């Protein structure tokens, strides 16, 4: 509960970020998220250092104009950029929407695990998710979908991260009682 109530999207991230080995370990945990058929319909592409510059330049070239420098710099706002690719698996029992739900669940689990380890992250979609140039650069298969990126690093230790209050969600819950439905003539 503490991780859920204290995790925030972190806009300012610095070194260190988890190593490839540590991130793989955390992904092994995140991959235990609900996934009908254990299809693992996703893959990650990790970018560090100059590779982020190349991706930023690719996006800036695709969208020239006043925001292109900002777009290129944005790729450098965390030491690790993990690009998420939705790779649906052919399966007669598990539809694509359910595979996308599994991918989302795994990603949220990863963000909570990163937070519990002291790392920060922020999920972003934007132009990255829609970029034909990024798809080409990152070799995204036509059957796959680039969903966005998870910027990962260490948050500013001076930043305030108050616990989120628990919202009242009672109005989002209903209880079905078959006996009441049959007596009302609905069945």
Domains of the chain: 2-183 (3.40.109.10)
**pLDDT at residue 72, as a whole number:** 82
Q: Can you say how many angstroms the Cα of residue 2 is from the centroid of all Cα atoms in its chain?
A: 20
- Reported confidence tier of residue 69, pLDDT bands at 50, 70, 90: confident
pLDDT tens for 98-149 read 999 999 999 999 999 999 999 999 999 988 999 999 999 999 999 999 999 9
pLDDT tens for 120-133 read 999 999 889 999 99
Share in percent of the chain as helix, strand, coil (round to 5): 40, 20, 40
- Output phi, psi for 179, to 5 deg: -60, -40
Quote the pTM value: 0.90
Residue percentage of the chain with pLDDT more than 90: 78
**pLDDT at residue 185, as a whole number:** 66
Count the helices and strands in the chain (H runs, E runs): 8, 5
Mean pLDDT rounded to a whole number for the chain:
93
- Reported confidence tier of residue 26, pLDDT bands at 50, 70, 90: very high
């Amino acid at each position: 509960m503490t991780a859920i109530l204290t995790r925030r999207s972190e806009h300012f991230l610095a070194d260190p970020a988890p190593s490839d080995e540590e991130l793989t370990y955390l992904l092994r945990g995140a991959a235990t998220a609900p996934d009908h058929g254990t299809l693992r319909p996703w893959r990650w592409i990790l970018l560090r250092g100059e590779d982020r510059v190349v991706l930023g330049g690719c996006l800036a070239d695709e969208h020239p104009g006043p925001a292109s420098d900002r777009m290129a710099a944005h790729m450098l706002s965390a030491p690790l950029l993990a690009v998420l690719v939705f790779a649906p698996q052919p399966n007669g029992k598990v539809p694509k929407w359910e595979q996308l739900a599994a991918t989302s669940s795994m990603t949220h689990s990863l963000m909570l695990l990163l937070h519990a380890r002291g790392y920060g992250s922020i999920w972003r979609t934007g132009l990255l998710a829609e970029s034909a140039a990024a798809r080409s650069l990152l070799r995204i298969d036509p059957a796959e979908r680039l969903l966005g990126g998870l910027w990962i690093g260490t948050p500013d230790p001076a930043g305030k991260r108050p616990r989120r209050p628990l919202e009242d969600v009672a109005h989002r819950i209903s209880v079905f009682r078959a006996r009441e439905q049959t007596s009302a003539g609905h069945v």
